[in-house]
Structure 1
Amino acid sequence: MKSIDLTKGPISRSLIIIAAPLVAGNILQGMVEVVDLFFVGRLSPAAIGGVGLSISVIFVLMTLIIGLSGGTTAFVSRYYGEGNYPYAGRVLIQALILGLIFSLMISVVGTLFATDLLELFGAPEEVVIEGAAYLRVLSLGIVTLVEFWIVSAFFQSIGDTKTPLLIILVINLLNIVLNPVLIFGIGIAPAMGVSGAAAATVITRAVGLGIGVMLLGPLNRQMEFTRQAEADVCLMRRILRVAVPNMVQSGVRSVSYLIMYIIIVSYGTLALSAFGIVSRIEMLALMPGFGIATAAAVMVGQNLGAGDPDRSEASAWKALELYAGFMAVITVLFLMFGARITEFFDPSGLSNPYAISYFLVISPFYVLIAIAIVLSFALNGAGDTRKPMYATLLSYLLVQVPLALIIPDLTGTGIVGVWYAMAIGILVQTVALYLMFRSGKWRNIKI
């Protein structure tokens, strides 16, 4: 394990050194999502739709954790940049305590109300049955995902991105092995269907959490974890003040995504299956950029802690250039090979026309998505989490969702009108975040 001083040296070199393991880790994670989808797709279109719907519900329930992870990154990177290592360690302990509390809440809701939550979307009965089976198992073991996420965010925030990568490599290989074993039943393992995919995720994240905790040991002398192993309510409140707007931002995005699912359900099971496919494929394409954006957030936080906001801003712009260039290439690939990609996941071909229409409308906006993600992460890394929250509220709740209800009937474009509404929302969010970041007010944020 080796952390990197991100407050000195060439910006491009520092960004690439810290981003490369994050990108690799995100690609590995995205590949596991694709493997999940591949095996689940061998069950039925209803299984694909049910798992996709369940993951959307989990994203809503996980908004607390997404915000907490962002708050952890802002605090740890800022204190690490200042050279206050024990306080950076103290932040991790408080984040883990908060993560445990929040994960218990998520577990109760997701386990007890899985069917009720999915029925709210008006999905067909077979989709609800499959989705509820997946959601219950994932909710029962959600604490493993939550705490592993927080530990990984800590390593990343101190500039050590290789350790999380190695852990992800190990657990994702294990996940790929467990998927067919638990889904279809091999040897003494019973066939669990979609529940097996969820069980594989929970088991492997538990393994990853155990490895991560063990690897924190060598940092104890510098971070003083064992001396900080008690609740600090004051620090928790400070973390939450930064995290709550991030939670709202993630919550609005997730709720809007669920509303889009409700709208798409009205177009039938095949449309729902197609949206589940393109969502997974799109997430795989975005995964490398999330690594770049996370690196930007860490560099912004550490350099603000070191008193160098100019370097923070330059880091964000460099990350934006890298991600936007990558997504331009992805746009070309999806426009050229979108049909073949979707056929891989749905051998029946029945849902492919819906998926192809999605790529034709949305993929030209991928460069704007890259810009929005980097600027949002950079603002969050600075601790200025309110601005991304406002941009998300505007683009999703006030633009995308209303237009998704209006455009299809107004223009007679059907589900393609829903895709147009999503594209307009992307444009609005990107413009808003660009103006907010350019204002420079984030440079003086105190946390």
Structure 2
Amino acid sequence: MHLSTDSPQSLGRTLWRQTWPMAIGVLSLLGFQLVDSAFIARLGTAPLAAQSFTFPLSFLIIGVQVGMGIAIAALISRALGAGEEQRARRLGSLVLLLGAAAIAVLAVVLWLVQTPVFRLLGADASALAEIADYWGPQLLASWVGALVYFGYSLFRAHGDTTFPGTMMVLTSLVNLCLDPLLIFGIGPWPGLGLPGAAWATVIAFAAGLVLLARRLASRNWLAGEGLSGELRTSGGAFAGVAGPAMIGQLMPPLSAMLAVSVVAQLGQTAVAAWGLGSRLETVSLMVVLAMTMSLPPWLGRCYGAGDWVQVQRLMRLALRVVVIWQLGLGLVMALLAPWIAGLLAGNPEIRGELAILIRFLLPSYAALGVCMLVVSAGNALGWPMRAMLMSAARLFICYLPCLWLGITLVGGMTGLAAGAALGNVLAGLLAWWWFNKVMSRPKRQYAGRNIS
């Protein structure tokens, strides 16, 4: 994709075509997770708090799969940009096989260590009992979801964002239909309660996996031969991208664990509100998340072709869109905070604390979006270590220290929310400075590199 001569209007239209299917897909996928939590909130504070305790470990699995997905998109798009189609096919097959095995091993480990880990996060005996029934099917849902995600990454690497976006919508609709049936039951059939939400997700992702396998079978994007040789040849390059990317993606779960352990000191109601706020965060960042999926393959092809002028134009446009969209959305949602909290939470105490989180955090996601986009671009453009360090700085220099300051100086949910918002703003400013510094000398960065 070599588009340096395109007008700004043409570039914007192309970015829109690449991003909108993923935005709709991300909205539907994250929307059903938010609705999951809203349904569970109707079961009571205890089940919602139990689900909230599992979020950091669920994000751990997502971090590994996203890190591998970044490597898929980066290496395959670079190979395609350099005209190496056979290599792209071998890479696609390798990642599907290795990804499935890696996530399965991680899921087993998380099952075995669940009790001590959740105790460290602050879960009491009643929460542990709720989690015990939920965690098994949730891990299964995470594994099936990871397989689907790896398949989506192949489509994105080949420039097809429409099919993954459509599949996200479809699986979300299946999950939404199954949620009330499996959580609350119907007629003479009793509901499963909290585990019902996880089983609904398992079924939805399994249906998506079947359709994905059928579509992949019709595409000539995989290879059955030469995989061991490709593994020896590209294993280092894959680890060089996937390793830092996974470490960068694993930092948010670690940060989330630390944050949840702090929130747990404020009580079960605060944990429940924080869990709903986390779900709302991901939904509100749908455009940013869609761009982190649609933009890196495009940037990777520009990288493979040595087209740095196009890289700069794409990033400036994408960052402008992110800031305008997220700031506008955040301000509107902050104004509507009491009504949004009322829709998501049944408990008045949870509603009040969730409204505080919305008012402080949602506008700050404009800065967080800048940081997320810069980190994603860094992985696509051959700077995985710098992207990892940027992720570390966001969490451990900006976010967590500001969280501590907020609780120490202000206290309660207000201090927590204000500190988190300040951390997001500082991270966005830091990412913007780093991006401008690095992109001021792109030719020197590119000189002497190969695309592996």
- TM exceeds 0.5? yes
Q: How many corresponding residue pairs?
A: 440
Shift of 1:345: 1.5
Query: Which residue of the partner structure matches residue 416 of structure 1?
Result: 414
Q: d(CA) in 2 for partners of 1:215 and 1:61? A: 25
Q: d(CA) in 2 for partners of 1:186 and 1:86? A: 52
Query: Which residue of the partner structure matches residue 322 of structure 2?
Result: 323
Query: Which residue of the partner structure matches residue 101 of structure 2?
Result: 101
Query: Which residue of the partner structure matches residue 392 of structure 1?
Result: 391
Shift of 1:277: 1.3
Q: d(CA) in 1 for partners of 2:258 and 2:356? A: 20
Query: Which residue of the partner structure matches residue 242 of structure 1?
Result: 241
Letter in 1 for 2:49: G
Shift of 1:324: 1.4
Letter in 2 for 1:133: D
Superposition pairs of residues 266-285 of structure 1, within 5 angstroms:
266-285=265-284
Shift of 1:130: 2.3
Query: Which residue of the partner structure matches residue 313 of structure 1?
Result: 312
Query: Which residue of the partner structure matches residue 368 of structure 2?
Result: 369
Q: d(CA) in 1 for partners of 2:429 and 2:45? A: 37
Shift of 1:224: 4.9
C-alpha distance after superposition, 1:13-65 (max 9, x if no partner): 22111111011111111221122122111111121121122122111243222
C-alpha distance after superposition, 1:388-437 (max 9, x if no partner): 2112222312343244334423x243332222332232233223322222
Letter in 2 for 1:317: R
Q: d(CA) in 1 for partners of 2:275 and 2:23? A: 23
Q: d(CA) in 1 for partners of 2:52 and 2:229? A: 37
Q: d(CA) in 2 for partners of 1:200 and 1:382? A: 38
Q: d(CA) in 1 for partners of 2:114 and 2:173? A: 29
| Residue 437 (str. 1) matches residue 439 (str. 2) | no
Contiguous gaps of at least 5 residues in structure 2: none
Q: d(CA) in 1 for partners of 2:181 and 2:416? A: 38
Q: Which has the higher mean CA deviation after the structures are superposed, 371-380 or 140-149?
A: 140-149
Shift of 1:162: 0.9
SS of equivalent to 1:238 = helix
Q: d(CA) in 2 for partners of 1:346 and 1:224? A: 46
Letter in 2 for 1:325: I
Contact 1:124/1:269 (CA < 8 Å) preserved in 2?
no
Shift of 1:176: 1.0
Shift of 1:97: 1.9
Contact 1:145/1:205 (CA < 8 Å) preserved in 2?
yes
Query: Which residue of the partner structure matches residue 153 of structure 1?
Result: 153
Shift of 1:188: 7.6
Q: d(CA) in 2 for partners of 1:167 and 1:189? A: 30
Q: d(CA) in 2 for partners of 1:245 and 1:350? A: 41
Letter in 1 for 2:67: G
Q: d(CA) in 2 for partners of 1:393 and 1:263? A: 19
SS of equivalent to 2:218 = helix
Q: d(CA) in 2 for partners of 1:125 and 1:340? A: 33
Contiguous gaps of at least 5 residues in structure 1: none
Closer, same or farther: CA 61–258 of 1 in aligned 2, 3 Å: same
Q: Which has the higher mean CA deviation after the structures are superposed, 327-336 or 188-197?
A: 188-197
Q: d(CA) in 2 for partners of 1:390 and 1:40? A: 36
SS of equivalent to 1:226 = coil
CA RMSD of aligned residues (A): 2.1
Query: Which residue of the partner structure matches residue 71 of structure 1?
Result: 71
Q: d(CA) in 2 for partners of 1:37 and 1:422? A: 22
Q: Percent identity?
A: 22
Contact 2:24/2:165 (CA < 8 Å) preserved in 1?
yes
Query: Which residue of the partner structure matches residue 334 of structure 2?
Result: 335
Closer, same or farther: CA 199–6 of 1 in aligned 2, 3 Å: farther
Query: Which residue of the partner structure matches residue 80 of structure 1?
Result: 80
Closer, same or farther: CA 190–80 of 1 in aligned 2, 3 Å: farther
Q: Which has the higher mean CA deviation after the structures are superposed, 422-431 or 305-314?
A: 422-431
TM-score for both structures, normalised by structure 2: 0.91
Query: Which residue of the partner structure matches residue 123 of structure 2?
Result: 123
Contact 2:171/2:204 (CA < 8 Å) preserved in 1?
yes
SS of equivalent to 2:348 = coil
